[in-house]
Chains A and B, each alone.
Chain A
Amino acid sequence: MKPKFSVSDLNLFYGNFQALHQINIEIPSNQVTALIGPSGCGKSTFLRTLNRMNDLVDTAKITGNIQLDGENIYSDIDVMKLRTRVGMVFQKPNPFPMSIYDNIAYGPRCQGVKDKQRLNQIVEDSLRGAALWDEVKDRLNKSAMGLSGGQQQRLCIARAIAMEPEVILMDEPTSALDPIATKKVEELMEQLKKKYTIVIVTHSMQQAARISDKTAFFLMGELIEFDDTNKVFTNPQDKRTEDYITGRFG
């Protein structure tokens, strides 16, 4: 199967500090790929290269090649267009201080969708897609800041879905949530992977084992191992991976 992303010889520098070393990886379509590794190993940094969020960091410099469906994301695709194709959900739920409706409609509106009916449809579909519709359908015009943490995170997922992306990047999306809200978001990911390619950073190995098809293990800016999840967890090829997943460090 053709990979969604193929990354070759990727290096990333924050000023003089090299955060990523020679990353080569092919991320498959319509699967969940988990990125694991100890804190500070470069998981978020790598994730954010995939939709060029690192462009926002003035000191960040990149070498190497990242292709999305064969197109170079740093030269062939407009960065704004790229981000509509590759959506992102952040560690801390970050709804805009606007109504629930306006949060979802934000992305489509930025792309020039004005038609009220179409927006209504997008809002409803996205909220349904994020399993949030029944909880908020009566208060679409209330501020999103009034939602619980778990609801806010699902709202952020709905907001990403509203762009009809091909890929959704998630950076520790449940680390700020309680176990019940975490379970809901995980169930949601189960649904989402039928339609979208998902790349998720997680510091919970149980979560990676539960939800992902592929797992990549990062250590100090290097990609140590990348394989099917059950292979990585049952039969790791690298000693360092084994040490990490058996809890010997990290």
Chain B
Amino acid sequence: MSRKVKDQLCNMLIWLSAAFSVGILVLVVGFIFSKGWSKISLDFLFNDYESKTQYVTLESDQAYQAPASLSESALFSENLGVALELKEDHYEIVWMDKESPLKEATNNADEKVKISKGDCVQQIKVSGKSLKLDKKTDQEEIVKALNENNTLVMKVMSVGGGIFPMIVSTLLLVLVALLFSAPIGILAAIYLVEYAKPGKLVNVIRFATEILAGIPSVVYGLFGMLMFVNTLNLGMSILAGGLTLTILLLPTMMRTTEEALKVVPMSYREASYGLGANKIQTLSKVVLPSAIPGILVGVILSIGRIIGESAALLFTIGTFAKLPVNPESGNFSLLETGTSLTVRAYIEVKESGNVEMAAAIGIIILIVVFTLNLFSRLIAKKFSKANN
């Protein structure tokens, strides 16, 4: 074979491989976006996962104006400042006045209920009468019932299908995991770089962290389940998940901090010691401030890792798509079970074959991780500029 042909073959192979990998990437992203994009909306982000039906009490004290742009088929109540529209066989809230009594609605237990656009009104009880709302109900009667009295009770179904509980749980996980892993990892790295005498012990610690970094996360998940969920009796909870993630993140946190500390020029330390500063002063006033951008990059990448992690969480936080809220007190609690975005994506496909939902979650994760990476690059770039 002539040399030219060989060269061309090689070039072709290189090109093909490059094109193939780019193609695959485009394919994956394209697939996820095409499957899930239609679901993405503010409602998707902020709605509860389960739909919920409640009776709410409304008190009206003024009359409201209909908005200029209201569709012909919508029913408007000047008593409540709300517009309903028949969708298939249920009435949906399509518009609400900013001061509508629906904003102040309370349920049987006298708790405030958040009613928003898109929720369904199923029944109205007013002046001792009850009116079911569906496509057979006379529309004039509905308007009459809505405007009949200043006090009325409504049966409202808030639509679910959103990922709000998972977003909250994931954010809490990030918080808990960073709260533990950042200080421990950073202090451990400071020990290794600034305190430990180079020798056996340091080598053993480095080796151990390297091994830890290589362990598949499902193993951490198993350990977390045995250790935090069972032995420490935390149950499947945000805390158990966060602690598992802490262990998972520690090696990375240590490594990035170590790197960040090592690139702080020795001359800064010499200058500081040369001025009679002690070790803590040198560390806190000179070394750490110079290392902070590098440490921050590690933290940001860790956030990305937490958001993308699933195997370590499957057995430790649980799979229920609910807010980590105590059902009795109604308060947020780290000891409550919940689920993260990624775990939920997995469960959606596995249990109900809901690929669309999983893809939509995938889009959200993709966007967040992409933004985080961009952010860390920006910081890293600034950092390398500042140090030269």
Contacts and interface: CB of A to CB of B under 8 A. Distances in A.
A94 B276 contact: no
Given A58-B198, A97-B290, A83 B275 contact: yes
Given A96-B268, A97-B386, A106 B273 contact: no
A1 interface: no
A90 B271 contact: yes
Contact of B275 (A58, A81, A97, A163): A163
Interface in B279-295: 281, 285-286, 289-290
B276 A107 contact: yes
A82 B278 CA distance: 12
Interface in B158-195: none
Nearest to B199: A58
Interface string B254-279: 00000000000101111111111110
Contacts of A229: none
B273 A94 contact: no
Contacts of A84: 275-276
A151 B270 CA distance: 19
B200 interface: no
B272 A90 contact: no
Nearest to B198: A58
A163 B272 CA distance: 12
Interface residue tally of chain A, by bracket?
Answer: 20 to 34
A36 interface: no
Given A90-B267, A96-B268, A96-B286, A58 B197 contact: yes
A195 B267 CA distance: 27
A110 B275 contact: yes
Given A87-B275, A163-B275, A110 B281 contact: yes
A94 B197 CA distance: 25
Contacts of A87: 274-275
Interface residue tally of chain B, by bracket?
Answer: 20 to 34
A87 B271 CA distance: 10
Most buried by A among B272, B273, B289: B273
B201 to A, nearest CB: 13
Contacts of A159: 271, 275
Interface in A43-86: 51, 53, 56, 58, 80-84
A81 B274 CA distance: 10
Contacts of B285: 106, 110
Given A58-B197, A97-B290, A97-B386, A106 B268 contact: no
Contacts of A90: 267, 270-271, 274
A56 B272 contact: no
B281 A94 contact: no
Contacts of A53: 270, 273-274
Contact of B268 (A51, A94, A111): A94
Given A53-B273, A110-B275, A110-B277, 14 more contacts: A56-B269, A80-B276, A80-B278, A83-B273, A84-B275, A94-B267, A95-B271, A97-B386, A97-B387, A106-B275, A110-B281, A110-B285, A163-B275, A163-B276
Interface of A: 51, 53, 56, 58, 80-84, 87-88, 90, 92, 94-97, 106-107, 110-111, 156, 159-160, 163
Top 9 closest A-B pairs, CB basis?
A84-B276, A107-B275, A94-B267, A88-B274, A83-B276, A110-B277, A94-B271, A80-B276, A110-B281
16 contacts: A51-B274, A53-B270, A53-B274, A92-B267, A94-B267, A94-B268, A96-B268, A96-B272, A97-B290, A97-B386, A106-B285, A110-B281, A110-B285, A111-B276, A159-B275, A163-B275
